[in-house]
Structure formats: C-alpha cells, structure tokens
Amino acid sequence: MASDQELEPIKNAKVLMVGAGGIGCELLKTLALSGFTDIHIIDMDTIEVSNLNRQFLFRQSHVGQSKAKVARDAVLRFRPQINITPYHANVKDPEFNVDFFKQFNVVLNGLDNLDARRHVNRLCLAADVPLVESGTTGFLGQVTVHIKGQTECYECQPKPAPKTYPVCTITSTPSKFVHCIVWAKDLLFAKLFGDKNQDNDLNVRSSDSANSSESAEDVFERRKDEDIEQYGQRIYDHVFGYNIEVALGNEETWKSRNRPKPIYSRDILLDKPFHQNGNLNKDSETDDASSVSAMVCLGLKNPQDIWSLVENSRVFLESLKLFFTKRAKDVGNLIFDKDDQLAVEFVTAAANIRASSFGIPMHSLFEAKGIAGNIVHAVATTNAIIAGLIVIEAIKVLRNERNKLRMTYCLEHPSRKMLLMPVEPFEPNKSCYVCSETPLSLEINTSCSKLRDFVEKIVRNKLGMNFPLIMHGSALLYEVGDDLEDDMVANYAANLEKVLAELPSPVTGGTMLTVEDLQQEFTCCINIMHREEFDEEKEPDGMVLSGWIQARTAENGERSAVTNGESTSKSSNTAVLEEENDEIEIITTEVSVIPSGAKRKLAEISVDSNSVNSLAASDLVSKKSLDHGDGNNAVVMIDDEELEGIKKKRLR
Ligand SMILES: Nc1ncnc2c1ncn2[C@@H]1O[C@H](COP(=O)(O)OP(=O)(O)OP(=O)(O)O)[C@@H](O)[C@H]1O
Ligand SMILES: [Zn+2]
C-alpha cells in the first residue's frame, strides 16, 4: 500500500488522455482506480457497435454518443469524487494549443494513427510536458516515454513505409491471396465504382477494341444498349477471362510460374439457376442503401464460409448489380471501406475468382474483410495490460523517477518466460528534425514544382503540419490562418500556383526555407537542392526529403535510414508486423483514406493503401519474425542472445 506521501504526486496531478477507444477506456478506469483525481480526455469519435466488445465503458444504448463524454459518465459512477473533463473534439483543433497542453503534468496517448500521434508529440515538446505513448495490435503492444531533452521524442525514429507490392505482381502475377485482394480493392473496385479520373492500371481494352483501328473504348464504361446483367457479365468475362488470356500470351512470364486459367461466366454459371437452392431472400428488398447486401439477396448467411467459385461468381454479379441499381448515387465516388458490406462482398468475390484463376486458395468473406481492411482483431487483454503500463510510467514521471522509466513491449510469445519486455529509454536522436534543430534536405525540380506541390507533399504529408508558415529569409511565401487580410490570402493563393523558382522570392538550389507550424510551435529548416529528374516508380512524389537519419547506437554505429511514414486522417486500430533491416517493427497501420481527387500511382498500391503508423520498436528488438499467410500477422521470437543485445543498447 502506497503511503500518503507517495500518493501525493498522483492526487495532485492534472493529466490529459488523448483517445477514449480500446486503450483509452482501460486507461481511464485504471487512472481513476489508481488515485488520479483530475483527468482531461479528448476523443473526436462517437461510439459504434463494433467498439462494444472491448470498450467496456460503453453500452448498446450509447451508440452514436461521444466517447469522451460517455467514458467520463461511466467512470464517475464508481469514482464520483474525481474530476473528469471530456472534450468531444479532434486533438488537432486549434483550441488544444501549447498553452492548453502546458496545464498538464503528463499527457497519455491512447491513439490509433500517426498523424495525431505526431501532433501530440510536437505539442508536448513545445509545452515541455512528458508524453507516455502507447499502441496495441492484437497480442502485441508497447508503451514508450518521451521527455524533452532526456529521451527520444516520438518522431526521433523515422517510421517505416507501408508494405507495398510491385505493380506487376498485382496486375499480372499474383501468388498470394493478399495480391488478389489488393487487385480487387485498389484496381477493380476503384475502376468500377470510384473516381473515374484516378490513375488505374487495369487493362481497359477489350478484344473488340484491340482488333479495331479506332481508339480503344474503355470496356468498364457501360454501353447504352446494355442492361445491368449484360454489363456485369461483360466485366466478369473481361477481367477473369479475356485479360487472363492476354496475359497467357506472354510466354516468358509463365516459364517459372503456374499458368492461370481464364474463367468465363458462361462456363461457371451455365445451367445453374440464378438463385441457389431456392433460398433467395425476397425480403431483402430494401430502400436503405447502407444495408444492401448481395449475400442477403443470394441467401448466403455465414461470413465464415468459403464460397464456391459459382457462389463467388453470383456474389460478384449481384453486388455489381446492386451498386448500380440501389447505390447508383455513390457510384463514381466510392473508396473501399471495410465497413461497407456490399463493397466487402464485391471485393471478396472478385479476389476469390482471381485467386481461383491463379490456383491460390480462396478465403471466406470474414477473412477477406480482415485482409482488405488490414484488420488485426483487437485483444482486450492487451489493451488492459498496456493501459496498466501507461499508468505505471505516468506515476514514475510524476514522481520524477527518471532512472526507473521504461519502454515496455508486450510480446505474443514469452521470452525467458517473460511476456513483457522492459527497455530503458533512448536518448534523443541528434538528427531528429522535430526535437533537434537539424535541417532537412529536399531534392526538387525548382523550375517545375509549384509551391502547392511542396506544401501538400512535404509540409502537410511528410512533416505533418496543419497551420504552416513558409519563409525564405524574411520573405513570407505562404501562411495559413483565420485572421489573414484578404490581400494576403489572395497573395498566398497566387504563390501556391507559382513554380518555386518564380516565386517573388525565388526558391532555387541552395535556398534555405524555414517552415513553421504555428499551432504546434514547431519550426524546421529545409535546404533546397535542385534536381532535374525523378524516377516515377521509386520517387512518385517527384521530390525526395532526407536528412532525417537514425540515431547512433553504442554498439552498432549508424543505423540505416528508413523512409518517413505518411500522414493520415481516419484510421482503425489494426496492424502488420514487417521486416526492416533485420529488426522488428510493430506497426499500426491504417485504413486507406485517399484524399478526393488525389491520384495514386500503382507503385504505391499496398495492403493498407497509403498510410502507416509506427511505434518504432525497431531499434530495441532484434527479431525472428515468422510471416504467416499474407504477412498481416507475425509471430515474434526473441532468444536469449538477442535479449542480451537489447539490454546493451540502453541509454548511456
Ligand atoms: N485526432 C484525434 N483526435 C481525437 N481523438 C482521436 C484522434 N485520432 C484518433 N482518435 C481516437 O483514438 C481512439 C483510438 O481508439 P481505438 O484504437 O480503439 O480505435 P476505435 O476507432 O475505437 O476502434 P476501431 O478503429 O478498431 O473500430 C478512437 O476513439 C479515436 O476516436
Ligand atoms: Zn525527436
């Protein structure tokens, strides 16, 4: 039992929790039961049915209500004497500025995306408030402590890039089910139901147009004289039949691979009644677009069943038809969403038919949804363990027990009979552009790239700034803010459309730009280097940001640099475990959010499409990672020798 004196720093502490989801619910409960009396909590979300299995402060009747507010009410029921202040808001909102952060003794993150984590990290640095950061993915989890000037900040280690697949694997030579899912989701689904202006590398030429001298017709366009059934069958035959035959013509490709088999709807659905077993669900007629389901229409009930090729073909045609008849308003704007039942049905069916063609085992809708949505099912126990560890570290921070601070990793399999691995925190990375003053370098074609490209791709996406201000010497090139004069707004808008070298204060090779985020109170300098050409596949942004290298470790010398993680907006608490330079990465990935109108290159096609969030365990744990199935989950095994190595890499 702790003495009154020991409890004093806890009782007097004012803490900020960010996120009231899986970790957040556990954390709020544990804080309240540990003696904390002044807790502020920010969460921007409302409660969803899918949260109820693990976010135990919420009940069915709370669905649709603010997570932060309901969590507060639930905890006050068993700890009525404490103060909990909820904010149903985005932590990136301007009200949560440096002054707001300064009122807290410690900030505790229970977030699920890189964007928000980076933002909180910067505010904690600017306000000089310690941050306890956390993340879980299935059985894996981690808690890290970040104190300005004493330990690494959250961004000291660059986050790994999302897992990507070579374009040709996706379009021509899939060998795993995940390749078929990526094809179905990022190419076929996007082509049929998404923004027509997006880049898409599906073969759009049919046999008719290939033979004709006229310019190729896009086979994915519905013809005027075609009913929806005919259209669906034509798409089916094109993507699973004709395109495979075309691919088979390239003999070289198949010398070392199994040849795929073209599949035509007439061969699969021949003589089969349209609705199987007579169990068509006639009651499925509904006007509610969100509940439209091909499975319901076809009487397929169990999402864990693996459908036959005939069933997959039926679901493919039915879901395509339903999109064009019941969800016609959405067509043209759709982005795959794991919570969109009809989209998941279509993608499952399309991926399975393609898998069947390439001799790859088919999967159930449940499994396909998990792969397409990058879902690693959350484990409530991991969240509870991690929340407990956050509170332990928070208490050490409040008691100023600097030497006792630990970053702790929750493993899937015990190592030396231990499931939890504590590691002393690292010192700050001297080349971190966030917590040190090291300038970054940007290679860019200053005579073609516009200021807008620089702002979108570098300042917002790579550097994660929300309210940027860009200066060249004393000349202001760009600024965002509510209180700007009209002529300044017009001036900055005009600057955005100018190429760098033609700005009022020209930006060319050798220019040093200062970029500042007024809300995050974060400044960094970027050394501009002019470069004429970029490799479209390897450098799709047409610019390369560098200078942010990994810190030295005592034993290994320089760590190799990995690329920056991308910023995102909405996310889900999902994860993959990836190999990177022989080290383990625990990565929280996010559901695709493709900004409307944004064009994506095929080179960027990935399971999680465009964003990754990492809690960089990479520098701590050597690994043997056994990839299971489609690479979404991996078993971590750490042997004794490796454990010794970890111990040696401690903060000096
Ligand atoms: N920028 C942000 N501002 C405030 N809260 C945020 C922000 N980003 C994420 N969050 C919150 O962090 C919490 C993370 O919780 P969790 O990882 O359990 O995700 P979830 O959305 O509840 O569940 P799932 O994604 O698995 O359906 C969510 O409640 C989410 O609303
Ligand atoms: Zn740093």
Q: Is the CB of 90 under 6 A from ligand 1?
A: yes
Query: Which pLDDT score is estimated for 1?
Result: 58
Same domain, 135 and 34: yes
627 vs 165, 462, 634, 650, CA distance in Å?
16, 29, 5, 28
Q: What percent of the chain has pLDDT over 90?
A: 64
Q: What local confidence, expressed as pLDDT, does residue 376 receive? A: 86
Q: Calculate how far, in angstroms, residue 572's C-alpha sits from the geometric centre of ligand 1.
A: 7
Residues of the chain with pLDDT under 70: 1-2, 161-162, 203-216, 271-288, 548-652
Give the pLDDT score at 548.
64
Residues 450, 521, single domain; the answer is yes
Identify the H or E element spanning 495.
helix 486-496
Count the domains in the chain: 4
In a domain, 371, yes or no: no
Final residue of a structural domain among 546, 566, 593: 546
Relative to the CA of 21, which ligand 1 atom is closest? 15
Query: What is residue 102's three-state secondary structure?
Result: helix
**Distance, CA of 515 to CA of 440 (rounded, Å):** 11
Residues 157, 293: one domain? no
467 shares a domain with 609: no
Which one-letter DSSP state was computed for residue 532?
Answer: S
- 18 CA from centroid of ligand 1 (Å): 9
Do the Cβ atoms of 160 and 587 come closer than 8 Å? yes
| Biggest alpha carbon–alpha carbon distance for the chain | 88
Residue 367 domain-assigned (yes or no) = no
- Distance between Cα 168 and ligand 1 center (Å): 35
Gap between the Cα atoms of 329 and 290, Å rounded: 12
pLDDT of residue 203: 67
ipTM > 0.85 (yes/no): yes
Note whether 286 and 391 are same-domain residues.
no
Q: Per the residue annotation, which of 168, 180, 524, 525 is the catalytic one?
A: 168
Q: Facing residues of 470 across strands?
A: 478, 515
Atom of ligand 1 nearest to the CA of 116: 1
The pLDDT value recorded for residue 471 is: 95
Tell me if 469 sits within 8 A of 515, measured CB to CB: yes
> What is the number of the ligand 1 atom nearest to the C-alpha of 54?
18
Please check whether residue 403 lies inside any domain of the structure.
yes
* CB-ligand 1 contact for 68 (6 Å cutoff): no
- DSSP strand pairing (140-146 vs 131-137): antiparallel
The residue whose CB lies within 8 Å of the most ligand 1 atoms, and thus the one to mutate among 142, 570, 573, is 573
DSSP letter for 183, please.
I
- Nearest C-alpha to atom 2 of ligand 1 is from which residue? 90
Whether 320 is in the pocket of ligand 1, judged by its Cβ within 6 Å, is no
> CB burial class (10 A; 0-12, 13-18, 19+) of residue 285?
exposed
- Cα dihedral sign for 30, 32, 35, 36? positive
Give pLDDT, residue 636: 29
DSSP alpha helix (H) spans, 358-485: 365-372, 380-398, 451-453
- Residue 497 resides in a domain: yes
Which atom of ligand 1 lies nearest, measured to the CA of 136? Answer: 17
Closest CA to 447 of 510, 527, 532: 532
Element (H, E) at 33: helix 22-33
Q: Does the annotation list 186 as a binding residue? A: no
Indicate whether 62 and 155 sit together in one domain: yes
Is-contact 470 194, C-beta < 8 A?
no
Active-site residue flag, 168:
yes
CATH number assigned to the domain comprising residue 476:
3.10.290.20
Instruction: Report the SS3 class of residue 544.
Output: strand
CATH number at residue 108: 3.40.50.720
Q: How many CB atoms lie within 10 A of CB 482?
A: 6
Among the candidates 546, 562, 592, a domain finishes at 546
In sequence order, the 6+-apart residues with CB closer than 8 A to the CB of 252 are none
Domain-embedded: residue 110: yes
Q: Residue 114 C-alpha to ligand 2 middle, in angstroms?
A: 14
Range of the domain at 298: 177-359
Centre of ligand 1 from the C-alpha of residue 21, in Å = 5
Q: Based on the fold, state whether residues 243 and 300 are members of the same structural domain.
A: yes
**Closest ligand to residue 155's CA:** 2
Same-domain check for residues 330 and 203: yes
Pair (283, 219) in one structural domain: yes
Is the domain of 186 the same as that of 38? no
Q: For residue 90, what is the enclosing H or E element?
A: none
Render pLDDT for 571-597 as a digit per residue (tens, 0 to 9).
332 222 232 222 223 333 332 222 233
Q: Is residue 553 one of the residues assigned to a domain?
A: no
Closest CA to 44 of 95, 91, 102: 91
Residues 273 and 139 in one domain: no
| Strand segments (E) across 23-109 | 38-43, 83-88, 106-109
* Atom of ligand 1 minimally distant from the CA of 90: 3
DSSP structure class, residue 606 = B
Expressed in angstroms and rounded, the spacing between residue 151 Cα and the centre of ligand 2 is 8
Q: Is the CB of 614 under 6 A from ligand 1?
A: no
- Is 170 domain-assigned? no
**Which residues hold their Cβ within 5 A of ligand 2, which is an ion?**
153, 156, 432, 434-435
Q: Is 439 left (phi over 0), alpha (psi -120 to 50) or beta?
A: beta
Q: Is the CB of 290 under 6 A from ligand 1?
A: no
Is the minimum distance from the CB of 572 to ligand 1 under 6 angstroms?
Answer: yes
Q: Which of 27, 44, 376 to mutate to test the pocket of ligand 1 (most atoms within 8 A of CB)?
A: 44
Judge if 201 and 288 occupy the same domain. yes
Query: Do the domain assignments include residue 554?
Result: no
- Nearest protein CA to atom 24 of ligand 1, as residue: 572
In whole angstroms, give the CA distance from residue 232 to residue 559: 52
- Among 377, 387, 384, 372, CA closest to 573: 377
Quote the ligand 2 centre to 158 CA distance (angstroms).
9
* Whole-number Cα distances in Å, 383 to 54, 111, 379: 9, 12, 7
The Cα–Cα gap between 627 and 143 comes to 24
Q: Distance of CA 284 to CAs 24, 320, 374, Å?
A: 38, 16, 29
- CATH number of the CATH domain containing 294: 1.10.10.520
Flag whether 115 is marked binding: yes
- Asked whether residue 156 is marked as a ligand-binding residue, the answer is yes
